[in-house]
Structure 1
Amino acid sequence: MIDNLVLGFSTAFTPENLLWCFIGVLLGTVIGLMPGLGSTTGVAILIPLTLTLEPVTALIMLAGIYYGAQYGGTITSVLISTPGEAASVVTTLDGYQMAKNGKAGSALAISAIGSFVAAIISLALLMWLAPPLADLALNFGPVQNLAIMILGLVIVVSFAGGSLSRGLMMAAAGLLISTVGVATGFSDARFTFGSINLLSGIPFIEVMIGLFAVGEVLHQIRRGADAPIRTRFRDMVISRGELKRSAGPILRGSGIGFVLGILPGAGSTLASFMAYGIEKRVSPRKAMFGKGAIEGVAAPESANNAAANANFVPTLALGIPGGGTTAVLLGAFTVYGLQPGPRLFETQPTLIWGLLVSFFIGNVMLLVLNLPLAPVFAQMLRIPYGYLYPIILLTSFVGAYSVSNNMFSVVLVLIFGVVGWVMKELDLPMAPLVLGLVLGPLFEKALVQTSAIGQGSFLVLLQSPISVGILLFAVLLMVGPKLAARFAVRRGPRGSATAGPGSDAAEAREHERDEAGR
Structure 2
Amino acid sequence: MELLTQIAGSVLSLGSVAAMLGASLLGVLIGALPGLNPVMAIALLLPLTYSMEPLIALGMVAGIYNGSMYGGAIPAILMRIPGTPAAIATTFDGFPMTQRGEAARALKIACWSSAIGGTASALALMTIGPLLARATLHFGPAEYFWIAMFGMASIGVLVGDDALKGLMAAVLGLLLGTVGLDNLSGIPRFTFGEPWLLSGLDLIVILVGLYALPPVIALAEQADLKGLSAAALKLGRARLGWAEIRGMVPTWMRSSFIGIGVGILPGAGGNIAAFLSYSAAKSASKDPDSFGKGNPQGVAAAECGNNADNAASMIPALALGIPGNVVAALVLGALLIHGLQPGPQLFHQNPALVGGFMAQMLITSLLILLVGGAAATRVFAQVQRLPGVLLVPMILVLMAVGVYVINGRVVDLWVMFAAGLAGYLLEKLSFPLAPVVLGLILGPMAEQSVRRALLISRGDATELLTRPISAVIAVATLGLILWPLLRAFQRRRRAAARD
TM-score w.r.t. the length of structure 1 is 0.90
The answer to whether the aligner puts 1:115 opposite 2:114 as a matched pair is: yes
The answer to whether the aligner puts 1:58 opposite 2:57 as a matched pair is: yes
Q: What CA distance in whole angstroms lies between the structure 2 residues aligned with 1:414 and 1:228?
A: 27
User: Residue by residue, what CA displacement relative to the aligned partner does 1:275-320 show, whole Å, maximum 9, x if unpaired?
Assistant: 1111111112312211111111111111111111101110111111
> C-alpha displacement at 1:375, in angstroms?
2.8
The share of aligned pairs that are identical, in percent, is 36
The answer to whether the aligner puts 1:395 opposite 2:398 as a matched pair is: yes
Letter in 2 for 1:358: Q
User: Residue by residue, what CA displacement relative to the aligned partner does 1:46-96 show, whole Å, maximum 9, x if unpaired?
Assistant: 112121111122112222222222112222222222222211122122212
Please point out which of 298, 301, 307 is paired with 1:305. 307
Letter in 1 for 2:208: I
Aligned to 2:374: 372
> C-alpha displacement at 1:121, in angstroms?
1.8
User: Residue by residue, what CA displacement relative to the aligned partner does 1:151-210 show, whole Å, maximum 9, x if unpaired?
Assistant: 011011111111111111100100001111111212211111121121111111121111
Equivalent runs, 1:152-301 vs 2, <5 Å: 152-222=151-221, 228=228, 230-231=231-232, 233=234, 235=236, 237-240=238-241, 242-301=244-303
Letter in 2 for 1:23: G
The answer to whether the aligner puts 1:314 opposite 2:313 as a matched pair is: no
Q: What CA distance in whole angstroms lies between the structure 2 residues aligned with 1:152 and 1:64?
A: 29
Please point out which of 347, 350, 365 is paired with 2:349. 347
Q: Is the 8 A contact 1:158 1:281 kept in 2?
A: yes
Letter in 1 for 2:179: V
Question: Superposition RMSD on alpha carbons, in Å?
Answer: 2.2
Q: Where in structure 2 are there 5+ consecutive unaligned residues?
A: none
Q: What CA distance in whole angstroms lies between the structure 2 residues aligned with 1:440 and 1:353?
A: 36
SS at match of 1:84: coil
Q: What CA distance in whole angstroms lies between the structure 1 residues aligned with 2:239 and 2:462?
A: 50
User: Residue by residue, what CA displacement relative to the aligned partner does 1:28-54 show, whole Å, maximum 9, x if unpaired?
Assistant: 222223333321221111112121111
Letter in 2 for 1:381: Q
SS at match of 1:28: helix
> C-alpha displacement at 1:482, in angstroms?
3.0
Q: 1:80 to 1:486 in 2, by over 3 A?
A: closer
Q: Is the 8 A contact 2:101 2:234 kept in 1?
A: no
> C-alpha displacement at 1:464, in angstroms?
0.9
Q: What CA distance in whole angstroms lies between the structure 1 residues aligned with 2:190 and 2:143?
A: 29
> C-alpha displacement at 1:244, in angstroms?
4.0
Q: Where in structure 1 are there 5+ consecutive unaligned residues?
A: 499-518
Q: What CA distance in whole angstroms lies between the structure 2 residues aligned with 1:182 and 1:79?
A: 38
The answer to whether the aligner puts 1:470 opposite 2:467 as a matched pair is: no
Q: Which is further off, 236-245 or 183-192?
A: 236-245
Q: What CA distance in whole angstroms lies between the structure 2 residues aligned with 1:163 and 1:4?
A: 57
Q: 1:273 to 1:3 in 2, by over 3 A?
A: farther
User: Residue by residue, what CA displacement relative to the aligned partner does 1:130-152 show, whole Å, maximum 9, x if unpaired?
Assistant: 11111101111111100101101
> C-alpha displacement at 1:337, in angstroms?
0.8
Q: What CA distance in whole angstroms lies between the structure 2 residues aligned with 1:325 and 1:285?
A: 36
Q: What CA distance in whole angstroms lies between the structure 1 residues aligned with 2:457 and 2:192?
A: 33
Q: Is the 8 A contact 1:233 1:375 kept in 2?
A: no
Equivalent runs, 1:9-20 vs 2, <5 Å: 9-20=8-19
Q: Is the 8 A contact 2:220 2:389 kept in 1?
A: no
The alignment covers a number of residue pairs equal to 495
Q: Is the 8 A contact 2:59 2:357 kept in 1?
A: yes
> C-alpha displacement at 1:491, in angstroms?
5.6
Equivalent runs, 1:320-339 vs 2, <5 Å: 320-339=322-341
Q: Is the 8 A contact 2:227 2:384 kept in 1?
A: no
Q: What CA distance in whole angstroms lies between the structure 1 residues aligned with 2:119 and 2:163?
A: 37
The answer to whether the aligner puts 1:480 opposite 2:483 as a matched pair is: yes
Q: 1:464 to 1:258 in 2, by over 3 A?
A: same
Q: Is the 8 A contact 2:110 2:303 kept in 1?
A: yes
> C-alpha displacement at 1:383, in angstroms?
2.2
Q: Which is further off, 86-95 or 374-383?
A: 374-383
Q: Is the 8 A contact 1:36 1:402 kept in 2?
A: no
> C-alpha displacement at 1:323, in angstroms?
0.6
The answer to whether the aligner puts 1:409 opposite 2:376 as a matched pair is: no
Q: Is the 8 A contact 1:21 1:61 kept in 2?
A: yes
Aligned to 1:144: 143
SS at match of 2:344: coil
The answer to whether the aligner puts 1:8 opposite 2:36 as a matched pair is: no
SS at match of 2:232: coil
Q: What CA distance in whole angstroms lies between the structure 1 residues aligned with 2:59 and 2:273?
A: 24
Q: 1:54 to 1:236 in 2, by over 3 A?
A: same
The answer to whether the aligner puts 1:461 opposite 2:481 as a matched pair is: no
SS at match of 2:154: helix
The answer to whether the aligner puts 1:78 opposite 2:77 as a matched pair is: yes
TM-score w.r.t. the length of structure 2 is 0.94
Q: What CA distance in whole angstroms lies between the structure 2 residues aligned with 1:200 and 1:322?
A: 20
Letter in 2 for 1:237: A
Q: What CA distance in whole angstroms lies between the structure 2 residues aligned with 1:378 and 1:403?
A: 27
SS at match of 1:96: helix
Q: What CA distance in whole angstroms lies between the structure 1 residues aligned with 2:2 and 2:232?
A: 51
Q: What CA distance in whole angstroms lies between the structure 1 residues aligned with 2:288 and 2:201?
A: 33
Q: Is the 8 A contact 1:102 1:236 kept in 2?
A: no
